[in-house]
Structure 1
Amino acid sequence: LPVSENSSLPLQVNIAVVHDGYIATLDSPAQQSFGIPLTDVHIDNNTLSFKSPMIQASFNGKKTTEGYEGTFKQGQEFPLTFKKAGSDEKQASTPTPELGEHGAAVAIIDQDEIKTQFYGEHDHNTQYEIGSVTKTMVAYLLAHAVVNESTTLDTPVNEFWPQAPDTVTLGQLATHHSGLPRLPENLLSKADQTDPYAHYGQSELESALAEIEPGANNYEYSNFGYGLLAESLAKSAEKAFPELLNDVVFEPFSMPDTYVATRKENTSGSLSKGHNVLGDVVPHWHFQSLAGAGAVVSTLSDMANYTKALMRKSAEDDATVEQLLAPQKTIEGCCQQALGWLISEDKNGKAYAWHNGQTAGFSSFVGFYLDGSRAVVMLNAQSIPVNDEAIKRLTQNAGSQ
């Protein structure tokens, strides 16, 4: 798949023939994404086509001497040819970039001691898109509002948005059990592929809410849900979401260099360039009504302050953080889902909270032990998974704790 003039991304489709059709998945090895489900699969000697609701993509191609040559559509159209792999051919792969190849920052917090490590020319002033770690801040807004009795986890969303179904609650949005899809259906049709959330305002959100038919209340990670949650809490507080986040999180947690990226003209000169998985520089992201899904930009110092404050409050049984980190749901094969945060255990059964984030050009991770003993903050100026490395650094002394 060509992603720029000089770069391409290998994709692989796996199709199994079953008695009533096909089972198919899509792999993107360079992004470490495997087993993405495909639907509406059709393949014969002349055509290949499929859809992927999870990533809102589709492919339609015709058989040529090269393979199935056609168009891959995901927001915009890309030329793409699938060639049948021989039985002795290995799955398409590409070297996995390492942390810090284009700059990064890491903080390890042990009690009151902080050790920092910077990669490239980055320093304490370098800013990063933190992506979905933003969701932990939105979840804190909810926990804060619940403790202060201005709302509840059972408050239906249609109290704030009459267009919304009456079956969706704030608590369900915060735990990804609302039945809302990962993205609203009307997001990508008018999106700029390089800045996909920038155009999506309140009118688009209202239109999406009027059209949705929530599915079962099973776990489904949803940027749509968190954007809606943030806007609902802002309506409840009668403030704009960036203002609410500044008042409840950024100022109390000593985060002076952190902001919500809602307008391009407000982009700070300290914001690092972001890089995709192939190492190409990519545009920064900006948000409107889906800002709660991942719009925060921050520094290592600010994120360390944020994490230290949560650790301290957790150790002191602070009511808001107790509400925030109380397990709400079990995610099979993974962990416990609290409000925003995921709760896992190390090999000794000691609990820690964590969340990661990823945009087109950045990746991030924040994790801390609930007893306040240790934490890791990892901010990387390239869109590659950092979970494994971050969790390794967080739990590496588990045997001696």
Structure 2
Amino acid sequence: MASGARLSYRELVATRLCAPLGLGSVYLPATADELGPEALSGRSRSGRAQDPWTGEALAPAGGARASIGDMARLTRALLDRSAPGVSALDPVADFAGPAARIGAAWITLEVKGRHVTWHNGGTGGFRSWIGLDREAGAGAVLLSASSRPVDRQGFALLRELSCR
């Protein structure tokens, strides 16, 4: 999509997502030298420091950096459908069988009677999870500076929020 818009991926994210939603903390470092002054160091499962994943090619697959506040703003915009490209959430095909459906990388499945749309991510020393119960209008985001998976905790948190 970036090349079709005649923009770099960085420019596309900045102009089409960050600017409209006011996501001021989001950036995509191409080198370790471009990491912001507040950038955390990720840790392995055993607690060892991990080198950051950076690079233009990695940006779409986990090279983005963002604050939890901006991730909360993105979650709100996804829930109220004001986010650019929000149709990516809508499932269009079965994923690993009929119990799960997938849109543009967003998986929707039934979890304890609730339809959850979610996506996770991970790079060297970091894990993330975002989930939406669109019917309940609830969303949850987990960002971790550890390689330990956070999916189970994300689903549990979203279930707690959805049942209130």
Provide TM-score, normalisation by structure 2: 0.90
CA positional deviation for 1:256: 0.2
**Residue 264 (structure 1) shift:** 2.0
Check the 8 A contact 1:253/1:306 in 2, yes or no.
Answer: yes
Give the Å deviation of 1:360. 1.2
Consecutive unaligned residues of structure 1, counting only runs of 5 or more, are: 1-232
- The match for 1:330 among 94, 112, 122 is 94
- 8 A contact 2:44–2:124 mirrored in 1: yes
Question: Considering only CA atoms, is the larger Rg found in Structure 1 or Structure 2?
Answer: 1
How many Å apart are 1:289 and its aligned residue?
Answer: 2.7
> Contact 1:254/1:306 (CA < 8 Å) preserved in 2?
no
Q: Does the CA contact (< 8 Å) of 2:17 and 2:84 recur in 1?
A: no
Structure 2 counterpart of 1:302, from 70, 89, 92? 70
1:234 maps to 2:5:
no
Q: Which secondary structure state, in structure 2, belongs to the residue aligned with residue 282 of structure 1? A: coil
Question: Does the 8 Å contact 1:365/1:377 carry over to 2?
Answer: yes
The answer to whether 1:365 aligns with 2:162 is no
- Give a deviation string over 1:253-297, Cα, whole Å, max 9, x none: 221011012122211011111101110011111122342111100
| Equivalent AA in structure 2 for residue 291 of structure 1 | A
Instruction: Could you tell me which runs of 5 or more consecutive residues in structure 2 were left unpaired when the two chains were aligned.
Output: none
Aligned equivalents of 1:270 and 1:329: distance in 2? 40
Pairwise CA RMSD: 2.0
Give the TM-score, by structure 1 length. Answer: 0.39
Partners of 1:324 and 1:361 in 2: CA distance: 27
Instruction: Please point out which of 364, 382, 393 is paired with 2:157.
Output: 393
Cross-structure match for 2:110: 345
Structure 2 equivalent of residue 313 of structure 1: 81
Partners of 1:282 and 1:355 in 2: CA distance: 23
Structure 1 or 2: more strand by fraction = 1
Shift of 1:375: 0.9
Give 3-state SS (helix, strand or coil) of 1:248's partner: helix
Structure 1 match to 2:48:
280
SS in 2 for 1:351: strand
Cα distance between partner residues in 2 of 1:332 and 1:289: 27
**Structure 1 residue 397: deviation in Å?**
5.4
Q: For the residues of structure 2 that align with 1:298 and 1:307, how far apart are their CA atoms?
A: 13
| Aligned residue-pair number | 163
8 Å Cα contact 1:311/1:372 also seen in 2: no
Residue aligning to 1:49? none
- Identity, % of aligned positions: 26
The 1:292–1:346 alpha-carbon spacing in structure 2 relative to 1, beyond 3 Å, is: same
